[in-house]
Amino acid sequence: MNKKTTNSRTTESIPKTLSGIQGLDEITHGGLPTGRPTLICGSAGCGKTLLAMEFLMRGATQYGEPGVFMAFEENEQDLILNMRSLGFDLKKLIAQKKILLDYIHIDRQEIEETGEYDLEGLFIRLDYAIKSIGAKRVVLDTIEALFAGLPNEMILRAELRRLFRWLKDRGMTAIITGESGDKTLTRHGLEEYVADCVMTLDHRVQNQMSTRRLRVVKYRGTVHGTNEYPFLIGEAGISVLPVTSLGLNHEASVQRISSGIPKLDEMLAGKGYYRGSSVLVSGSPGVGKSSIAAHFIDAACRRGERCQLFAYEESSDQIMRNMRSIGIDLAPWIEKGLLQIHAVRPTLCGIESHLVSMHHKIGAFKPSVVVVDPISSLSITQDEAELKPTLMRLIDFLKMQKITALFTSLVSGGMNLEDSQVGVSSLMDTWLLLRNAETNGERNRTFYVLKSRGTAHSNQIREFVITNKGVDLQEIYLGADKTLTGSARATQEANEALAEQRLQREHQRRLQQLDRKRTTIAAQIIALEAEMKSDEEEMKSFAMQEELRQKTLSNERRTMSRLRGQ
Amino acid sequence: MKAPKNTDHKRAEAENWILRLYVAGQTKKSLIALANLKRICEQKLENKYRIEVVDLLENPKLAAGDQILAIPTLVRKMPTPVKKIIGDLSNEERVLVGLDLKPVS
């Protein structure tokens, strides 16, 4: 099972055996060293036995490699019960001869040492167990119990060295567990004998929340992840979460999907979010983050896409009631199987556990849209520094799956909105900010797009109005020195309307006045023309009268002269 | 009870001690242990004992029954409670303590 490593100089690393444990094979680039023993150390209750057992069971069920489990601490019955609680039917595998369980009980009280001896009995038992089922995998859990049971440490150490060599000679891929010691990895220094691959498990409690972590301390002859990786013991066994081993090589979609709010789509170049991008909606309490989320869910379901909502503040009933009040009915989508709501308290478990349950839920439901409302609740149990890598893992995971994700984030009062989210905001592609504006004795919501990678977006601040028909984004009044929202905006708008009306009336009046004046002048023109005409007429009649008079005069003179001349 | 080889047959009515010695082949340690055991038994228990020798190389299954890890291991099956003594039995003092024979002597 040679696996190519990322290192270009070593193209082939040592043969590896897949453990089948989620995430572990990624960290180790292919599993545990084949035919060699691996030491797993950790304090009590950190999951050593479980990891070892899962290694065997996965080997037996998935890779056809039977395994022997030598238990020094728990007896068969306990182990079977413990594994059943994690969904593994150990009894069946034992019956099928895929796994052999051998419980070795040592009681110091019963043992009296009387001279030279060796541990051939253990070898014989192990050999017999391996041969009887043709085992390829072996677990010794935990061989350190021998140190408590056998008084002569010198003999024991020599025998352990022989045992590990013996296991190697037989080509057994083995897991040896050990309690962690004060200064050494294991209490009795088992790491001296098992030098090929060593992993530590750790179980820490911070702020009353427990987190398990796994680290590969050394792994000879191969590259491996060196970080501490959180792991979980869940319903399906162990899951190790590799942090950013995924790298940044997800495909970027050019497809756009609606935010569910037409005016918001308009602000984002008229098209909405990119598919597969991550969106952060942050704001102070009660600004309507969940409403934006609900619109997005509603829009996704309307397109017939599956949607997964992780709610950490409200129960699914409460969400549906509240969203109905703004005119969004999510119930039909649940009935149609398009929407799945997973509502739990954030304090239920550590953030890693939440992450794993998200993985499982997303893996099973295969949604194209995921909403987390709110991510800030998750940080209640963890400081921001730890939240970031976890979210990075989640976002990476979602991006690989081309899932569009919307996260809401609560910003508590007094904090600078932009500063407080720096930790996670750099992971986000689109960041919508909601803000409260308090003026004139009322609180109004303002909204803007703080960033949106790879797309033109409006630089405007809008007023965010929640109506019973959903969310609306209204343009706010931008005055000389101030922006106005709410009733102040309404008053301003009314005032403006009034002033406008007045102006229009004035304009009308002026127009009418001018019109009237024009009409008067026109009338005057007609009167003058008439006058002129009558004057002309008069002139003509004068001229005619004069002509007539002249004519008459000359006639009269002629007549006179004729009369005298007789 | 499985049937280990009886090496020493004593009279049945006298057998209130049953001692089982686990060995793995005829190794030096095994031989020393058996010799030591025989000697101690003859001295302390006379005829009231029976020794069973179990070779795990021949019968590996039997190792689980008495939780055998160390070789050689001597198990006192009778009288109860069951006691285990590991090693080649060369430290006689400790063997006697282990078998609860010390106060008797």
The answer to whether residue A119 neighbours chain B at the CB level (below 8 Å) is: yes
Residues of B at the A interface, defined by Cβ within 8 angstroms: 22, 24, 29, 32-33, 56-57, 60-61, 63-64, 67-74, 82-91, 94-95, 97-98
Closest CA to A29 of A41, A44, A19: A19
What are the tens digits of pLDDT across the range A494-546?
888 888 899 999 999 999 999 999 999 999 999 999 999 999 999 999 999 99
Query: Using alpha carbons only, how large is chain B's radius of gyration in Å?
Result: 13
Residues of B whose CB is below 8 A from A121? 22, 24, 56, 63, 68-71, 73
- Distance separating alpha carbons of residues A422 and A411, to the nearest angstrom: 12
- Distance separating alpha carbons of residues A180 and A184, to the nearest angstrom: 7
Q: Are B55 and B63 in contact (CB under 8 A)?
A: no
What are the tens digits of pLDDT across the range A444-454?
888 888 888 88
- Distance separating alpha carbons of residues A163 and A159, to the nearest angstrom: 6
Q: Can you count the helices (H) and strands (E) in chain B?
A: 3, 5
- Distance separating alpha carbons of residues A341 and A317, to the nearest angstrom: 10
The per-residue pLDDT for A249 is 63
Query: Which sign, positive or negative, has the C-alpha torsion A232, A234, A240, A242?
Result: negative
Q: Quick check: A301 pLDDT over 70?
A: yes
Q: Quick check: A118 pLDDT over 90?
A: no
Q: Are B67 and B25 in contact (CB under 8 A)?
A: no
Helix (H, G, I), strand (E, B) or coil at A11: coil
Residue of A nearest to B97 (CA): A112
Question: Which of A118-122, A480-484, A543-547 ranks highest by mean pLDDT?
Answer: A543-547
- Distance separating alpha carbons of residues A16 and A25, to the nearest angstrom: 9
Q: Are A287 and A273 in contact (CB under 8 A)?
A: no
All residues at 6 or more sequence positions from A306 whose CB lies less than 8 Å from its CB, including other chains = A300, A337, A338, A339, A340, A365, A366, A367, A368, A369
CB contact under 8 A, B89 and A114: yes
Q: Are A327 and A261 in contact (CB under 8 A)?
A: no
Q: Can you spell out the DSSP letters for A188-253?
A: T-GGGT--SEEEEEEEEEETTEEEEEEEEEEETTS----SEEEEEEETTEEEE--SSTT-S-PPPP
All residues at 6 or more sequence positions from A79 whose CB lies less than 8 Å from its CB, including other chains = A49, A53, A69, A71, A90, A101, A103
The per-residue pLDDT for B2 is 46
Nearest to A118 among B71, B97, B98 (CB): B71
Q: State which amino acid sits at residue A452.
A: S
What are the tens digits of pLDDT across the range A418-431?
555 556 677 788 88
- Distance separating alpha carbons of residues A92 and A135, to the nearest angstrom: 17
Domains of chain B: 15-92 (3.40.30.10)
CB contact under 8 A, A112 and B29: no
CB contact under 8 A, A104 and B22: no
All residues at 6 or more sequence positions from A54 whose CB lies less than 8 Å from its CB, including other chains = A19, A20, A21, A88, A237, A238
What are the tens digits of pLDDT across the range B7-44?
444 444 456 888 888 888 888 888 888 888 888 888 88
Average pLDDT over residues A49-57: 88
What are the tens digits of pLDDT across the range B64-98?
778 888 888 888 887 878 888 888 888 888 888 87
Half-sphere exposure of A189 (CA within 13 A, CB side): 8
Q: Which residue has the higher pLDDT, B79 or A302?
A: A302
Q: State which amino acid sits at residue A72.
A: F
